[in-house]
Amino acid sequence: MRSLERYQVLTFIAAFLGWTLDAFDFFTVSFALPYIAEDFNMKPSDIAASITVTLFLRPVGALIFGILADKYGRKYPLMVDIILYSAVELASGFAPNFQVFVALRAIFGIAMGGEWGLGAALAMEALPPEARGLFSGILQQGYPTGYIIAAIFYYAVISTLGWRAMFWIGSFPALVVVFMRFFVPESKAWEKTRETRSTDHNMFHDVKKVFKEYWLRIIHTILLMAGFGFTSHGTQDLFPTFLKTQLSFSPEEITVTTIIANIGSIIGGTTCGYLSQYLGRRKMVVASMILAGAFLPLIAIPINKPLVTFGSFVVYFFVQGAFGVVPAHLNELSPPAYRGTFPGLTYQLGTLIASSSAQVEAKLGEVFPKNGLPNYGLTIAIMSACAMVVVIVFMSTGGEKKHVNFMEESEISLEDNREVVETKNAQ
């Protein structure tokens, strides 16, 4: 941490706040869902469709904003992205009916999909190679941090000011843009390869080129991120329902347990991200998946409530510990000219594949009941264990570029482009 320069610290803070507040806005719907349903005179399951719409449009945002970031820099497209999701969050609080609300959440999905890739690229390109592991782990934990902030505001706001006030509060991330405008510089690695991008024709040409040249790496990374998504969502999405339905946890116990588990996520992501700088990205992820699987029985075969809480802390520690490696790993694997597009697009497409995990677990739990109740604990353990095996397989068969220097890589890419241009001119 002491090795970072001032601009590197400020850049990372901006990226972390962008992702944290983006997650906060996303989870606002999850917490406010029953109140929204009551206001619109609909079933909660109908309102939940807005969450699905948000998830489905995240890859679209990753592609659009990723291409913009590769063409025009990381900073200003990210600022536009943050303004967009802040404005949509504010407007969601004024939605007069469900149709308007779901349309706004669709736009939010595009903005949310763009934020992760741009923020991760801006942060990772600003950091020295030896610091990427630690700060990758911290950056990824903006997601559970956003969850905890949403839980706190839910407790403090919704019963007194109503669900709409939560969305109005969610518009405050727009202030991050002011901070970025005056204190965060553009990525130096991107500026190094500006000449490379100036030879491209248009947005559609960029999409075609990146898929043509790197299709195998893209497919492998998407499948890896799908495994990550099923592991993360498989242990998280149905967990509160499992606590309430099967274990008879009270609302207070559910809140405390989920917050403790997410604290485990934050500590695990930071710790494992840091250790990946020494052990390597692949070894750290594989070790985390094995250890997470070892503690799954504490959730699947619950003995008592304290052990379930402890088990959730440890499982989340290692699941999100592995996820803490992702921002650094995907940016290191990314071709330098497409670092705005590649990490975010593969991440969001993998997440899209895994978006059905809660529904699959719920259905399997009903098919294999225990004591007359859906056996959610068993299905959470089975799906999560299978996903962990997938992550281990794809992580072990993929590459690793832990020590790559983004500035040097950009210079090589620039030289290669100049040689291509000179050859064309000669011909």
- In angstroms and rounded to an integer, the radius of gyration of the C-alpha atoms of the chain is 21
Question: What mean pLDDT comes out for the span 173-178?
Answer: 78
Residue 340 pLDDT > 70, yes or no? yes
CATH fold of 6-426, please?
Answer: Growth Hormone; Chain: A; (1.20.1250)
Least confident of 59-63, 164-168, 303-307, 383-387: 303-307
pLDDT for the residue 285: 95
Cα 261 from Cα 313, distance rounded (Å): 4
- The number of angstroms, rounded, from the C-alpha of 229 to the middle of its chain's C-alpha atoms is 9
Residue 373, beta-bridge partner list: 370
Summarised one tens digit per residue, pLDDT across range 6-47 is 888 888 888 888 888 888 888 888 778 778 888 888 776 677
What confidence category does residue 204 fall into, taking pLDDT thresholds of 50, 70 and 90? low
DSSP state of 185: P
Give per-residue pLDDT as tens, 234-270: 888 778 878 887 888 887 888 888 889 989 999 999 9
Please count the other Cβ atoms lying within 10 Å of the Cβ belonging to residue 123: 28
Tell which residue, 114, 116, 141, 112, has the closest CA to residue 50.
112
Provide DSSP, 149-169: HHHHHHHHHHHHH-HHHHHHH
- List all residues 6 or more positions away from 420 whose beta carbon is below 8 Å from its beta carbon: none
Say if residues 149 and 20 touch (Cβ distance below 8 Å). yes
Question: What percent of the chain has pLDDT above 90?
Answer: 21
Give residue for tokens 């402890």. Answer: 310
pLDDT at 269: 92
pLDDT in tens, 363-418: 787 787 777 777 888 888 888 999 999 999 999 998 888 777 776 655 555 455 44
Give tens-digit pLDDT for 107-159. 988 988 888 888 888 888 888 888 888 889 998 888 888 888 888 888 788 77
Contact 51, 112 (CB under 8 A): no
Phi, psi of 370 (to 5 degrees): -140, 125
Tell me what the mean pLDDT of segment 160-169 comes to: 87
65: its two tokens: 């904003």
- In the prediction, which pLDDT does 259 show? 87
DSSP H helices in 237-250: 239-245
pLDDT digits (tens, 9 = 90+) for 222-231: 999 999 989 9
CA distances from 328 to 16, 82, 88 (A): 14, 22, 29
Asked whether the beta carbons of 74 and 340 are under 8 A apart, the reply is yes
* pLDDT attached to residue 203: 59
Q: For the whole model, what pTM was predicted?
A: 0.82
Smallest Cα–Cα separation from 52: which of 84, 24, 34, 26?
A: 26
The residue among 49 and 250 whose pLDDT is bigger is: 250
* 60: its two tokens: 């679209």
pLDDT, residue 271, reads: 94
pLDDT number for residue 421: 41
Neighbours of 369 (CB within 10 A): 12
Kindly report the average pLDDT of the chain as a whole number: 83
Burial of 173 (0-12, 13-18, 19+ CB in 10 A): buried
Distance CA 34, CA 48 (A): 10
At 407, list the tokens: 């500035």
pLDDT score of 420: 42
Model confidence at 206: pLDDT above 70: no
Domain ranges of the chain: 6-426
Cα separations in angstroms, 354 against 51, 137, 165, 194, 382: 14, 21, 31, 35, 15
* Higher per-residue confidence, 96 vs 340: 96
State the virtual CA torsion across 366, 367, 373, 379 in degrees, nearest 10: -80
